[in-house]
Structures are given as structure tokens and as C-alpha cells.
Amino acid sequence: SEVKKIAVIAGDGIGPEVVAEAEKVLKKTEELFGYKFEKEHGLFGGIAIDEKGTPLPQDTLEMCKNSDAVLLGAVGGPKWDNNSKELRPETGLLGIRKELGLFSNIRPAFVFDCLKEASTIKPEVLDGTDLVVVRELTGGIYFGEKFRRESEFGEEAVDTCAYNVMEVERIVKQAFEIARTRSKKLASVDKANVLESSRLWRETVNRIAPDYPDVELEHVLVDNCAMQLLRRPSSFDVIVTENMFGDILSDEAAMLTGSIGMLSSASLGEGSFGLYEPVHGSAPDIAGQGKANPIATILSVALMFKLSFGYQEAGDLIEKAVKDVLDAGHRTGDISTDPSKALSTAEMGDLIIAAMEK
Ligand code: NAD
Ligand code: IPM
Ligand code: MN
């Protein structure tokens, strides 16, 4: 059968630890389904700064461009936190998203019944929560002009937030399409009461909405949305929003699922190519200790199978294996109510690949 090329860039901190478990899942899928994955590994993030003097080396970028999908761990850490912009791991992350044209970041937040007690939110509030944040990924304040200047009151720093109609249209259309495949509800989140970029966002959403009469649309201001996500999480289906709002709201949504260690993501452009990474970061506080939850990264592989490769059955199998392992009571520290029984990263990965066989 056809070979899929996967670029693997593990990055920093817990990145390599969680990616190692996701690679076990790739291998198990080859065994079970007869698929063939050709993996290539590349330097990225802080480790690439240390070894090559740049967070996104040209050969790593080329490797990603020549692949069918990218599996990414996480980047960043205290070692590079005081570096200049060009020598920051996070700059490499923004660069790879931009260079690969990945304007759409899909972050599903689904509450496993057995994990309700792991969340800080009351179980009855979580009932039926199954939402997806569609985050614009290559525009807005992340990519706007940035500079410093002198002011009357000392040095001043400026970040600009810009969106054009094309950028809003393409992400909003994708979100409407995703809503169509789900519960047909779309919440567009903005700050149109204050920001000009949000007013253009809302006008654009309203112009596109008549093309999707089957989808129920609501506009929610971002501050209200942050509150409603905790008050009535199960009433949300698809949330579409600009880059920074999506970054913040998806970490908030993670806590509905019990832990940021549970949240997977897919970054897509117009075609089937995609980059798959957990929503969490490099977790310097637990890095190197085998404590990280690998489920976010493993579920990102399931997204890769479904969204880039059309391997629906293999993606479903991974999700079911994760559910079975959690249902059986297995927990890493972040989702455990009894830390003394917490599993290591590798133990959790091994249980999930074992559950894939059953
Ligand atoms: P973080 O997501 O790395 O960690 C926040 C908290 O969640 C920490 O207490 C951490 O231990 C915990 N956590 C995260 N992932 C976990 C997992 N899989 N299992 C168990 N616990 C987990 O966020 P932060 O601390 O704000 O950022 C740390 C570094 O990561 C920074 O340098 C930041 O820029 C970077 N970062 C990178 C990405 C990415 O590569 N996509 C995303 C977010 C943050
Ligand atoms: C994420 C991260 C990144 C972002 C950082 C590390 C640049 O928080 O992937 O959510 O803000 O996009
Ligand atoms: Mn984030």
C-alpha cells in the first residue's frame, strides 16, 4: 500500500517524551493495518537553537514540506526565555505554521465521562461537553508589526493586530463546514465592541452565514465567552475565533477535559497536509521525569489519520484505546486523584498500544 511520509519534530522539554509514545502508536498502526509510514526526524525549537543557531533550520522546514504530515511535540523553556525574538523557540513555531500555510488550528475538547472528577469544574456542568475550537493561526497580533519606540514616559512597545477579509473568510468557511459535520452550531468569538479587526471579523462572518442556513450562528464577545465556557460548556459546538483569543480559550477549554495533557490539535491549510501537535507546551516543570501525559499527542496522531490520511478506522481505534485505558482507571499524574498511583509517560503509552490490539 502507499507510503505516508511523516516529519517528526519532537522539540524541547516533554516534547521528546510524548512524541516517543505517539511513535509507538504509529508503529502499532502499521502492524495492525498494514500501513507504511516513512518517518524522518528533524531539529526544531530550543534544541535547534543550541545545535544550529536557529529555531527553525532550513533542512527541518524542507523535510516538513516534503512530507504528508508533521508530528510535533512542543518547544520552549527557561533556557531560551531571555533570547532575542529571532533566537526564541516560539518564533520557530510561528515560522513553521506560517511557512506551511497552516491558517486553521483545530482543537477538540471532549470530556471523557470517567475523567469528570479530574476536572476542576463540577461534573454536572461538564455533562455532554464536546466542542472544538477553530483558531485562526497565521494572522492577528501574533504576526502584526511589532516594534519599540521612545515615548514621553520611557520606552514603549507596540504589537499590532491586523486581519484582512481573505484571512477571515477562509477560517470562517472552514469552521462553518466543520459545524455542518457536527451539531450545526457555530459561535464566532470576537471583541467587536472595541476592536476594529473584530468588527471586520463579525461583518465577514455575517456575510458568509447565509451560505450556511443549516448552521445556527451566535456572536459572543470574548470576555463573555471565557465565562460561558465554564458556565455552559456543553452548549458550545464549534467556536471560531482569531489567533490570540483561540490560544487563550483553548487552554481554558482544556480544563473542562481534566488536563491540558488531554488536548490534541490539527493545523491545516487548504489541502490534506497538516501539522499535528498537543495543545500544551514543553512543561519545563515536569520535563525529563517521565511524568507527562502522552494522550494529547497520541490523540493528535488520531487526528492526523483522519484529517490528512483518510484512515478513519485507525483514528477511531486510537480514540477507543484511549477511552478503554481511561475507563479501566489508568491515569498519569495530571489526571489522577491519587498521585501515588500515577503512571509514567511510557506506561500510559504502552497501555494504549496494548488496548489497540484488543
Ligand atoms: P505548558 O503547557 O508547557 O505547561 C503548563 C502546565 O501544564 C505545567 O504545570 C505543566 O507541567 C502542565 N502540563 C503541560 N503539558 C502536560 C502534559 N502533557 N502532562 C502533564 N502535565 C502537563 O505551558 P507553560 O508552562 O506556559 O509553557 C512552557 C513553555 O512551553 C514555554 O516556553 C512556552 O512558550 C512553551 N509552549 C509551547 C507550546 C508549543 O510548542 N506548541 C505550547 C504552549 C507553550
Ligand atoms: C500554542 C502555544 C504557542 C501559541 C506559543 C508557544 C507560541 O501557546 O501552540 O498554543 O501561542 O500559539
Ligand atoms: Mn497556547
Q: Is residue 141 part of a domain?
A: no
Q: Is residue 319 part of a domain?
A: yes
C-alpha count within 13 angstroms, C-beta hemisphere, residue 96:
34
Q: Is 12 in the pocket of ligand 2 (CB under 6 A)?
A: no
Going by pLDDT thresholds of 50, 70 and 90, the confidence category of residue 4 is: very high
DSSP calls for 129-160: -EEEEEEE-SSGGGTS-EEEEEETTEEEEEE-
Alpha carbons 349 and 142: distance in angstroms, whole number: 34
Q: Is residue 351 part of a domain?
A: yes
User: Over the Cα atoms of the chain, what is R_g?
Assistant: 20
Share of the chain above pLDDT 90, in %: 97
Question: What number does the ligand 2 atom closest to the CA of 251 have?
Answer: 10
Q: Is residue 152 part of a domain?
A: no
Q: Is residue 8 part of a domain?
A: yes
Question: Average pLDDT for residues 230-258, to the nearest whole number?
Answer: 97
Per-residue pLDDT of 83-121, as tens digits, reads: 999 999 999 999 999 999 999 999 999 999 999 999 999
Alpha carbons 192 and 169: distance in angstroms, whole number: 16
The CATH number assigned to the domain holding 71 equals 3.40.718.10
Per-residue pLDDT of 247-260, as tens digits, reads: 999 999 999 999 99
Alpha carbons 23 and 29: distance in angstroms, whole number: 10
Reading the block at residue 94, the C-alpha cell is 510561528
Q: Contact at 8 Å (CB) between 190 and 162?
A: no
Quote the number of domains for the chain: 1
- pLDDT of 160 above 80: yes
269's enclosing H/E stretch is none
Q: Is 247 in the pocket of ligand 2 (CB under 6 A)?
A: yes
Taking residue 315's Cβ as centre, other Cβ atoms within 10 Å add up to 20
Alpha carbons 358 and 351: distance in angstroms, whole number: 11
Q: Is residue 340 part of a domain?
A: yes
Share of the chain above pLDDT 70, in %: 100
- Structural domain range at position 316: 1-107+260-358
Q: Is residue 10 part of a domain?
A: yes
Q: Is residue 255 part of a domain?
A: no
pLDDT for 339: 84
Question: What number does the ligand 2 atom closest to the CA of 137 have?
Answer: 12
Q: Going by CA atoms, what residue is nearest to atom 11 of ligand 1?
A: 283
What is the set of active-site residues?
A: 142, 191, 223, 247, 251
Q: What is the pTM of this model?
A: 0.98
pLDDT for 1: 57
- The complex's ipTM works out to 0.99
Per-residue pLDDT of 326-337, as tens digits, reads: 999 999 999 998
Reading the block at residue 233, the C-alpha cell is 460548556
Residue 220 bridge partners (DSSP)? 189
Interval between CA 247 and ligand 2 midpoint (Å):
7
Enter the DSSP assignment of 340.
Answer: G
- pLDDT of 156 above 70: yes
Reading the block at residue 297, the C-alpha cell is 499527542
DSSP calls for 258-300: T-GGG-EEEEE-SSS-EEEEESS---TTTTTTT----HHHHHH
